[in-house]
Structure 1
Amino acid sequence: MANDSGETDLWLFGYGSLIWKPPPHYDLRVPGYIEGYVRRFWQASEDHRGTPEAPGRVVTLIAREHWETLTDHHASAPPKVWGAAYRIPSTHVAEVKEYLDIREINGYSIQYTPFTPANQSTLPTLSSKPSNGNPISQGLITHPPPHPSPSSSSSSSPPSAQINCLVYIGLPNNPQFLGPQNPQLLAEHIAQSQGPSGLNSEYLYQLEKALDALSEESGDEHVWDLARRCREVERGEKGKVEKGEVERNGV
């Protein structure tokens, strides 16, 4: 469907925070995957999970052909990058694009890639879109309210074939791209970073949880391993604090 300005409905693929913190005005959310890329925490974040003085770390996508030329401590990666696709009705495309350009301004650029909807047998039961606007963390196909606007002609049925999705990627030539990272040092950095959007570790744990909920097949070892290491770092730091308090109190 096209609006008066010629805009058609937009499909957007999220593979990081967009999985659990969706864009405004979507009317359909579909779990699924893209191929030909590898997800890595190799993008610096100066505006959300860090600051210009102390950037945090967030995910980006690396073309698999390029990734295979790099030396990565995580030497394997799943063939599919799982995430969620959102359909934005044509009447809201311009507004949502403006919102996303601001949200993804820190080194990300617009690309397009084929998205494959998940096999419905691996997903939870269909559910209505939350009316309170709370972030989504479950792997549900979510639909618009039961009585959509008469001006909308978009089908409420999830797509069954590949669709072309817009995706924001921090390409290797962007100034925030860091390249291969030592997993332990990366986890330690994430554990101590924070920015205007909150703790960097929260971003990591939210992504881990959201991926686990998308499908039986949607796990990502890179994310799992970093989350495990980050928790160990946090437990170690907590232990040091508790030990120091005991020593100071003479217990």
Structure 2
Amino acid sequence: MAETNGVVVDATGRPSTSSGDEFWIFGYGQDHRGTPRAPGRVVTLIERSFWAALADAHDSAPEKVWGTAYRIKAAHVKEVAEYLDIREINGYTIHYTPFYPADGSSPIRTLVYIGTPDNDQFVGPQDPQLLAEHIQRSEGPSGLNRDYLLELEKALDELSPESGDAHVTDLSDRLRDIERGIKSGKVKVDVNGPPEPVPHEFRKVTSVDEQEETEKA
């Protein structure tokens, strides 16, 4: 065992499941808002150097990333570490970084997963309007992709007066415009709807506070 920034970790860099110590993890989104045949869109964190190499429609990005730090008590470290291995095992690297509470209290060392360029689920920059249209019609085991986007916008806006995200708000505004157009009949939707969901083996993880869903190992 070793200690990284005050967090006891094992040889792989993951939180130790036998040390009896708690740890904190930075949360910034959820998953499963689509199916393998019709994947939805969710947020991820990437290295700034990787982002700078992309031809993104947004020519700037803030220095801060807003989210929530979750305290994982010692009794639940093993359970949560195993859950995170299933959720984040492909295409992410583990980092430890200071988390600065919005109330100005002392920084907290938190674990965070950063997406890598070889993550096969990373789709890269997309046209914002096409992205909003894709989100509007996508659905998965955790619910509607539109709900994910709108709840993310709401959560970010409520964290702090500074915490809103221009990209998320832009997508949300486009989504609302699309849905107003559908309701008024000015926007036509595919009468056949999105592709039929494919069979899956997702199960509820009832013991984790976030009540997310994960795949069976």
Interval containing the TM-score (normalised by the shorter chain): 0.7 to 0.9
Which of 183, 207, 220 aligns to 2:165? It is 220
Q: CA offsets, 1:119-175, max 9 Å, x none?
A: 426xxxxxxxxxxxxxxxxxxxxxxxxxxxxxxxxxxxxxx4333311233322111
Tell me the equivalent position of 1:15: 28
Q: Is contact 1:13–1:83 with CA below 8 Å preserved after alignment?
A: yes
Matched, 1:116 2:95: no
- CA distance in 1 between counterparts of 2:111 and 2:42 reads 19
* Equivalences for residues 58-77 of structure 1 within 5 A: 58-77=42-61
User: In 2 relative to 1, CA 97–212 (structure 1 residues): closer, same or farther, beyond 3 Å?
Assistant: same
Structure with greater Cα Rg? 1
Tell me the equivalent position of 2:177: 232
Q: CA deviation at 1:108?
A: 5.1
Q: Is contact 2:33–2:139 with CA below 8 Å preserved after alignment?
A: yes
Q: Is contact 2:46–2:116 with CA below 8 Å preserved after alignment?
A: yes
Between 208-217 and 230-239, report the one with greater CA deviation. 230-239
Structure 1: state its 5+ residue gaps. 18-44, 122-159, 245-251
- CA distance in 2 between counterparts of 1:116 and 1:196 reads 30
- CA distance in 2 between counterparts of 1:115 and 1:54 reads 36
- CA distance in 2 between counterparts of 1:108 and 1:56 reads 17
Structure 2: state its 5+ residue gaps. 1-6, 9-15, 190-217
Q: Which amino acid aligns with 2:24?
A: W
Tell me the equivalent position of 1:86: 70
Tell me the equivalent position of 2:12: none
Q: CA deviation at 1:101?
A: 3.1
Q: CA deviation at 1:113?
A: 3.1
Structure 1: which 4+ aligned runs deviate by more than 4 Å?
1-4, 241-244
Q: Is contact 1:170–1:176 with CA below 8 Å preserved after alignment?
A: no
- CA distance in 1 between counterparts of 2:172 and 2:39 reads 18
User: In 2 relative to 1, CA 243–200 (structure 1 residues): closer, same or farther, beyond 3 Å?
Assistant: closer
Q: Could you state the TM-score of these two structures normalised by the residue count of structure 1?
A: 0.63
Count of residue correspondences: 176
Higher RCO structure (Cα 8 Å, ≥6 apart): 1
Matched, 1:184 2:129: yes
Q: Residue 41 of structure 2 aligns to a residue in which SS? A: strand
* Equivalences for residues 34-49 of structure 1 within 5 A: 48-49=32-33
Tell me the equivalent position of 1:148: none
CA RMSD of aligned residues (A): 2.7
Q: Which amino acid aligns with 2:135?
A: I
Q: Is contact 2:58–2:167 with CA below 8 Å preserved after alignment?
A: yes
User: In 2 relative to 1, CA 94–76 (structure 1 residues): closer, same or farther, beyond 3 Å?
Assistant: same
* Equivalences for residues 161-172 of structure 1 within 5 A: 161-172=106-117
Q: Which amino acid aligns with 2:109?
A: N
- CA distance in 1 between counterparts of 2:53 and 2:117 reads 13
User: Among the aligned pairs, what percent are the same residue?
Assistant: 58
Q: Could you state the TM-score of these two structures normalised by the residue count of structure 2?
A: 0.72
Q: Residue 65 of structure 2 aligns to a residue in which SS? A: strand
